[in-house]
Amino acid sequence: MTAEPPNISRPLPTSSLYERVGGEPFFIGLVERFYGRVEEDPVLRPLYPADLEPGKANLAAFLAQYWGGPARYSEARGHPRLRMRHVRFAIGTAERDAWVTNMVQAVQESGASPDDARALIDYFEGAATMLINEPR
Protein backbone atom coordinates (compact mmCIF):
# COMPACT_ATOMS: atom_id res chain seq x y z
CA MET A 1 0.00 0.00 0.00
CA THR A 2 1.47 3.32 -1.02
CA ALA A 3 0.18 6.43 0.64
CA GLU A 4 -1.54 9.00 -1.56
CA PRO A 5 0.89 11.83 -2.35
CA PRO A 6 -0.20 15.15 -0.89
CA ASN A 7 -2.08 17.21 -3.43
CA ILE A 8 -0.05 20.36 -3.95
CA SER A 9 -1.65 21.57 -7.17
CA ARG A 10 -5.31 21.95 -6.28
CA PRO A 11 -6.50 24.48 -3.67
CA LEU A 12 -8.38 23.12 -0.70
CA PRO A 13 -12.10 23.85 -0.87
CA THR A 14 -12.85 27.00 1.10
CA SER A 15 -16.05 27.83 2.89
CA SER A 16 -17.58 31.16 3.74
CA LEU A 17 -18.18 32.19 7.32
CA TYR A 18 -21.90 32.11 6.43
CA GLU A 19 -21.64 28.39 5.67
CA ARG A 20 -19.44 27.57 8.67
CA VAL A 21 -21.79 29.13 11.21
CA GLY A 22 -24.84 27.40 9.73
CA GLY A 23 -26.33 30.07 7.49
CA GLU A 24 -29.30 32.36 8.04
CA PRO A 25 -30.44 31.07 11.48
CA PHE A 26 -27.09 32.10 12.98
CA PHE A 27 -27.58 35.72 11.86
CA ILE A 28 -31.20 35.82 12.96
CA GLY A 29 -30.15 34.62 16.42
CA LEU A 30 -27.23 37.04 16.59
CA VAL A 31 -29.45 39.99 15.71
CA GLU A 32 -32.17 38.85 18.17
CA ARG A 33 -29.67 38.83 21.04
CA PHE A 34 -28.15 42.14 19.93
CA TYR A 35 -31.56 43.83 19.74
CA GLY A 36 -32.52 42.36 23.11
CA ARG A 37 -29.62 44.34 24.53
CA VAL A 38 -30.43 47.46 22.50
CA GLU A 39 -33.91 47.45 24.04
CA GLU A 40 -32.35 47.81 27.50
CA ASP A 41 -29.55 50.21 26.47
CA PRO A 42 -30.04 53.80 27.62
CA VAL A 43 -27.58 55.17 25.03
CA LEU A 44 -28.90 53.26 22.00
CA ARG A 45 -32.62 52.73 22.61
CA PRO A 46 -33.55 56.38 21.93
CA LEU A 47 -31.91 56.22 18.47
CA TYR A 48 -34.03 53.26 17.36
CA PRO A 49 -37.69 53.47 16.26
CA ALA A 50 -40.58 52.20 18.40
CA ASP A 51 -40.98 49.12 16.18
CA LEU A 52 -37.69 47.23 16.17
CA GLU A 53 -38.78 44.38 13.89
CA PRO A 54 -38.01 45.89 10.43
CA GLY A 55 -34.52 46.91 11.55
CA LYS A 56 -33.84 43.41 12.86
CA ALA A 57 -34.75 41.83 9.55
CA ASN A 58 -32.63 44.32 7.59
CA LEU A 59 -29.56 43.83 9.78
CA ALA A 60 -29.81 40.02 9.70
CA ALA A 61 -30.19 40.00 5.90
CA PHE A 62 -27.32 42.45 5.49
CA LEU A 63 -24.95 40.42 7.67
CA ALA A 64 -25.87 37.12 6.01
CA GLN A 65 -25.11 38.71 2.63
CA TYR A 66 -21.87 40.31 3.81
CA TRP A 67 -20.50 37.00 5.13
CA GLY A 68 -21.23 35.03 1.96
CA GLY A 69 -24.94 34.22 2.01
CA PRO A 70 -27.61 35.09 -0.56
CA ALA A 71 -27.94 38.75 -1.61
CA ARG A 72 -31.38 39.15 -0.05
CA TYR A 73 -30.50 42.48 1.57
CA SER A 74 -29.54 44.15 -1.71
CA GLU A 75 -32.57 42.68 -3.49
CA ALA A 76 -34.84 44.31 -0.90
CA ARG A 77 -32.93 47.48 0.02
CA GLY A 78 -30.44 48.19 -2.82
CA HIS A 79 -26.81 49.09 -2.27
CA PRO A 80 -26.03 48.99 1.48
CA ARG A 81 -24.40 52.47 1.67
CA LEU A 82 -24.21 52.06 5.43
CA ARG A 83 -22.66 55.44 6.14
CA MET A 84 -25.41 57.22 4.25
CA ARG A 85 -28.12 55.13 5.95
CA HIS A 86 -26.76 56.15 9.37
CA VAL A 87 -26.37 59.92 8.88
CA ARG A 88 -29.79 60.54 10.40
CA PHE A 89 -28.63 59.03 13.71
CA ALA A 90 -26.13 61.03 15.78
CA ILE A 91 -23.32 58.50 16.29
CA GLY A 92 -20.44 59.62 18.51
CA THR A 93 -17.95 57.45 20.34
CA ALA A 94 -20.43 56.69 23.17
CA GLU A 95 -22.98 55.32 20.68
CA ARG A 96 -20.31 53.43 18.75
CA ASP A 97 -18.92 51.87 21.93
CA ALA A 98 -22.40 50.88 23.19
CA TRP A 99 -23.25 49.31 19.82
CA VAL A 100 -19.98 47.35 19.70
CA THR A 101 -20.28 46.18 23.34
CA ASN A 102 -23.77 44.80 22.74
CA MET A 103 -22.76 43.12 19.48
CA VAL A 104 -19.58 41.60 20.96
CA GLN A 105 -21.69 40.05 23.72
CA ALA A 106 -24.12 38.70 21.12
CA VAL A 107 -21.19 37.20 19.16
CA GLN A 108 -19.69 35.64 22.30
CA GLU A 109 -22.99 33.87 22.99
CA SER A 110 -23.32 32.70 19.37
CA GLY A 111 -21.38 29.44 19.44
CA ALA A 112 -19.14 30.56 16.53
CA SER A 113 -15.61 29.12 16.60
CA PRO A 114 -12.95 31.38 18.16
CA ASP A 115 -11.59 32.28 14.69
CA ASP A 116 -15.01 33.12 13.29
CA ALA A 117 -15.94 35.08 16.42
CA ARG A 118 -12.68 37.05 16.09
CA ALA A 119 -13.42 37.83 12.41
CA LEU A 120 -16.95 39.01 13.25
CA ILE A 121 -15.78 41.18 16.14
CA ASP A 122 -12.94 42.74 14.12
CA TYR A 123 -15.40 43.56 11.36
CA PHE A 124 -17.99 45.07 13.72
CA GLU A 125 -15.39 47.20 15.50
CA GLY A 126 -14.08 48.59 12.20
CA ALA A 127 -17.49 49.11 10.61
CA ALA A 128 -18.90 50.84 13.70
CA THR A 129 -15.92 53.19 13.83
CA MET A 130 -16.56 54.09 10.18
CA LEU A 131 -20.12 55.10 11.07
CA ILE A 132 -19.14 57.74 13.64
CA ASN A 133 -20.61 60.94 12.23
CA GLU A 134 -20.56 63.23 15.22
CA PRO A 135 -17.14 64.16 16.60
CA ARG A 136 -17.26 64.94 20.31
Binding residues (CB under 6 A) for ligand HEM: these are 44, 47-49, 54-55, 58-59, 62, 77, 82, 85-86, 89, 91, 95-96, 99, 124, 127-128, 131
Minimum distance of ligand HEM from residue 101's CB (angstroms)? 10
Minimum distance of ligand HEM from residue 75's CB (angstroms)? 12
Relative orientation angle of helices 24-39 and 93-108, to the nearest 10 degrees: 130
DSSP letter, residue 46: G
- Considering the complex, state which of residue 44 and residue 106 has its C-beta at the smaller distance from ligand HEM: 44
CA distance to 22, 42, 68, 133, 135, per residue, from 116 (Å): 12, 29, 13, 28, 31
- Considering the complex, state which of residue 13 and residue 54 has its C-beta at the smaller distance from ligand HEM: 54
Minimum distance of ligand HEM from residue 133's CB (angstroms)? 9
Are residues 30 and 106 in contact, defined by beta-carbon separation less than 8 angstroms?
Answer: yes
Q: Cα-atom radius of gyration of the chain, to the nearest Å?
A: 18
- Considering the complex, state which of residue 46 and residue 111 has its C-beta at the smaller distance from ligand HEM: 46
Minimum distance of ligand HEM from residue 135's CB (angstroms)? 14
Burial of 79: CB neighbours in 10 Å, binned 0-12, 13-18, 19+: exposed
- Considering the complex, state which of residue 5 and residue 54 has its C-beta at the smaller distance from ligand HEM: 54
